[in-house]
Every structure is written in C-alpha cells, then in structure tokens.
Amino acid sequence: MNDCVFCRIVAGTAPATKVFEDDAVCAFLDIRPITRGHTLVVPKQHATELDDLDPDLGAQVFRTGHRLARALRRGGLASDGANLVLNDGTAAFQTVGHVHLHVVPRRHGDKLSFAKGFLLRRPHDTESTAAAIRAGLTALARAEGAQG
C-alpha cells in the first residue's frame, strides 16, 4: 500500500487537491489535467485493476463520477459535458496501479484545446478549479434539496 500514490493520497500522506470524499471513495484533481477540472475518482480500498475491485465499490466509484459530471455543469467551470473514462490495465494505458475513473469536463467546440491538453497536460490553477467543482456539488445538492 505504501508504494501506491493513490493510497497515499487517500490517507492524506501525499498531496492532492481533493474535491469530494466519503467512506468509500475519494475524488481529487488530476495533477496533469487534459482540461481544467479533470478529476479522478478512486476507491479508498486499494484495487490495482478491475479484476481486483469489488463490483459494489465500482458502482460507488461510477456514482461519484456521475455526480461530479453533473456538478461540473453547475459550478464555475460550467462545462457542457464530460468524458468519463476508466483505463483498465496497462494494455489500456492505465498508468497508476490503483483503479481510477477519469472525469474530464468538456465544452462545446473545445476539440482543439482537448487535443492540446492530451499533449501538454499542464496543471491549471488548482485552488480555483477545486472551488469551482465544489460549488457545483453544492449547487447540485441544493437543487436536489429543492426537489424534495
């Protein structure tokens, strides 16, 4: 576990800008984002690949990704959509050996910046980005509360 960077992020012993966590999952900004707001959702319990992941925990990971995608439309980033991507195994370009779901915010007409982001993957202003995502989660919770 100690040599897994995502386990260390979950434990708080490696730095990351967390935007959400509960008992089962943790979501934090990708340090090399493709687009601003690119977030990773990981199970807190270590699983290297989908083969090792409890399916119910996998469902919780996706549930969180789904929620983040909705929050990204509502927060300061005001995305128009998102790519939710899970690369399972090194053959599928999984680069960290701890299951993670990418939530990549998208805007209409961003094809070029998205393609460039793949090449550059430069960090954006993490604090304001995280604040924008948290604002989206708050707006989402408020909207759900209003619906009863």
Q: Catalogue the active-site residues.
A: 100
> Of the listed pieces 43-51, 66-74, 113-121, 136-144, which binds Zn ion according to CB under 5 A?
43-51
How big is the site for Zn ion, counted in residues (CB under 5 A)? 5
Contacts of 118 (CB under 8 A, 6+ apart): 34
Q: Is the dihedral of CA 128, 69, 97, 87 positive or negative?
A: negative
Q: Does 6 bind Zn ion (CB under 5 A)?
A: yes
Burial track 34-53 (b if 16+ CB lie within 10 A, e otherwise): bbbbbbbbbbbbbbeeeeeb
* Residue 24 is a binding residue for Zn ion (CB under 5 A): no
Check binding of 28 to Zn ion (CB under 5 A).
no
CB of 4 to Zn ion, least distance (A): 3
Nearer to Zn ion, 22 or 144 (CB): 22
Residues 6+ apart with CB under 8 A from 68: 19, 20, 27, 39, 41, 82, 103, 133, 137
- CA nearest 136: which of 80, 71, 79, 81? 71
Tell me the closest approach of the beta carbon of residue 28 to Zn ion, in angstroms.
13
Query: Does residue 100 bind Zn ion (CB under 5 A)?
Result: no
The stretch among 5-13, 20-28, 101-109, 136-144 that binds Zn ion (CB under 5 A) is 5-13
Residue 5 contacts Zn ion per CB under 5 A: no
Contact residues: Zn ion, CB under 5 A: 4, 6-7, 46, 98
